């Protein structure tokens, strides 16, 4: 009888242990589910903010698409135009070129939510994180080169013409600098930089649109 009691006790104790283990596993499962739910909700909110941030950046770029893609051709045509002998009689065309070339843009972007998402979800959803990292790199590149482009314009255009052209009215007091080979070479230097800015501009905008699609896809999942 003692053996029967011992056997029943062991079975009872084993059953209790199993129940405790099952209880712990259920509690852990509930806790993990709750943490995953909270993380999913937090990610969803951040994704919404990221999409809004990216959309604002896209819209700011779109407003410059036409000018950005036309500028290299404008500079090429201007360089050819400067070779004509009678610049004085083509003052209207000359002022038209100058008004376009004087316009300058340095690009900058809001990146706070982009950086937060990359840092928080670095090990998850690798496709989106990879494209976000690429976008961050592109945005930094165009910001740097567009700022450099303005510096070169100041040095090779505004500084060169400040004694000959009224930058406000575009009234030209002297054509000597405009007719010089040195000035045409300055325009070629500006052209080489602006071509690179345009290339960076287009690939950055394309990447922003790609990221926008990936964010939307992630939000729907």
Could you read off the pLDDT tens digit of each residue along the chain, which spans 221 residues?
455 556 666 666 666 777 666 767 665 656 565 555 555 578 889 999 999 999 999 999 999 999 999 999 999 999 999 998 889 999 999 999 999 999 888 999 999 999 999 988 876 557 899 999 999 999 999 999 999 999 999 999 999 999 999 999 999 999 999 999 999 999 999 999 999 999 999 999 999 999 999 999 988 87
Nearest residue to 60 via CA among 16, 25, 107, 92: 107
Contacts of 208 (CB under 8 A, 6+ apart): 54, 57, 58, 61, 135
């Amino acid at each position: 009888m003692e053996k029967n009691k011992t056997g029943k006790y062991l079975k009872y104790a084993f059953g209790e242990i199993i129940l405790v283990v099952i209880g712990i596993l259920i509690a852990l499962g509930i806790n993990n589910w709750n943490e995953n739910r909270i993380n999913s909700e937090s990610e969803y909110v951040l994704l919404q903010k990221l999409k809004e941030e990216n959309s604002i950046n896209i819209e700011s770029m779109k407003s410059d698409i036409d000018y950005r893609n036309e500028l290299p051709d404008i500079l090429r045509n201007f360089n050819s135009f400067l070779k004509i002998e009678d610049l004085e009689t083509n003052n209207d065309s000359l002022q038209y070129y100058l008004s376009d070339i004087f316009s300058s843009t340095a690009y900058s972007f809001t990146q706070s939510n982009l950086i937060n998402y990359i840092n928080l979800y670095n090990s998850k959803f690798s496709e989106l994180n990879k494209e976000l990292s690429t976008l961050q790199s592109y945005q930094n590149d165009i910001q740097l080169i567009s700022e450099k482009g303005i510096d070169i314009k100041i040095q090779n255009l505004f500084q060169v013409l400040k004694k000959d052209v009224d930058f406000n009215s575009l009234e030209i007091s002297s054509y000597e600098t405009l007719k010089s080979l040195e000035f045409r070479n300055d325009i070629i230097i500006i052209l080489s930089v602006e071509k690179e800015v345009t290339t960076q501009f287009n690939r950055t905008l394309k990447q922003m649109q790609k990221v926008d699609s990936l964010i939307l896809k992630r939000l729907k999942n």
